[in-house]
Amino acid sequence: MLDIKNINVYIGGSLIIRNVSLTVKRGEVVSLIGRNGAGKTTLLKTIMGLLKPASGEIKFSGEDITHLSSSKIAKLGIGYAPDDLRIFPSLTVEENIELPMLVKGKSKKDMKDKLEFIYSVFPKLLKYRNRLGTQISGGERRMLAVARALAADPIMLLLDEPFEGLAPIIRLELTKSIHELLNRGLTFLITESNIRHVPNFINTLSVIERGEIIYSGGLEEAPDNDQVRQIFGLV
């Protein structure tokens, strides 16, 4: 579904992503982990067309999206929940979710059906649907960011550190929601800075360090890799 080949990305004259190749097959969950500043967010922004690679190729469902705009990439079916969340504080939870649907010109019935689907996956958001974006917790705002990305009818979601800073119980709730969406056919690329927060149902774990993929394989086998052990302090 998503096929990244040998991309290099510069920011301000510095090479941030170095010859990265990564594949996410339809119906899979791939977790990209790395320390802060390793290049995780830069890679997701490049996939979404917010940054342009100096070289390399990105394909989605067989189509070359390397130089497409972010709006065109979104229309092809990639949703993005950034690490800075971008929740509109003056809008209610439900209005935040509805916004992508209004942009797409969905009918009232389609919007109602989509809201019912989203609330079935994130029941806590139904409870707080009339609260402003500033009146819910940090964990609930992360759920809202994923829900809003889901409102645009993606077939693949890019989630940038969705578990960062969450209390264990909220992290478990969000993990269950992601697993339910996976069972409903969505595909995921999820970044994380803490290997202990990676869901155990992922298909592939890739580790990025200083803009390079240094490990790609199973989650259980990752601690056997010396570099992975050193980066994340595994014993």
Which tens digits make up the pLDDT trace of 3-57? Answer: 999 999 999 999 999 999 999 999 999 999 999 999 999 999 999 999 999 999 9
User: Strands of 212-217's sheet, edge to edge?
Assistant: 78-81, 156-160, 187-192, 29-33, 204-209, 212-217
User: Which residues, other chains included, contact 154 with Cβ-Cβ below 8 Å and sequence gap of 6+?
Assistant: 74, 77, 78, 79, 186
Q: Structural domain boundaries of the chain?
A: 89-153
pLDDT per residue as tens digits for the range 52-75: 999 999 999 999 999 999 999 999
Provide the pLDDT for residue 155.
Answer: 97
Summarised one tens digit per residue, pLDDT across range 181-224 is 999 999 999 999 999 899 999 999 999 999 999 999 998 888 88
> For position 234, what pLDDT does the model report?
64
Nearest CA to 57 out of 11, 6, 17, 10 is that of: 6
Mean per-residue pLDDT, 109-137: 94
Chain CA centroid to CA 87, Å? 15
Is the confidence at residue 235, as pLDDT, over 60?
no
Q: Three-state secondary structure along the chain? A: CEEEEEEEEEECCEEEEEEEEEEECCCCEEEEECCCCCCHHHHHHHHCCCCCCCEEEEEECCEECCCCCHHHHHHHCEEEECCCCCCCCCCEHHHHHHHHHHHCCCCHHHHHHHHHHHHHHCHHHHHCCCCEHHHCCHHHHHHHHHHHHHCCCCCEEEEECCCCCCCHHHHHHHHHHHHHHHHCCCEEEEEECCHHHCCCCCCEEEEEECCEEEEEECCCCHHHCHHHHHHHCCC
- Rounded Cα distance between 164 and 186, Å, is 22
* pLDDT score of 122 more than 80: yes
The pTM of the full predicted model, rounded to 2 decimals, is 0.93
Q: Give the integer Cα–Cα distance in Å for 230 and 84.
A: 28
Chain segment 37-51, per-residue pLDDT in tens: 999 999 999 999 999
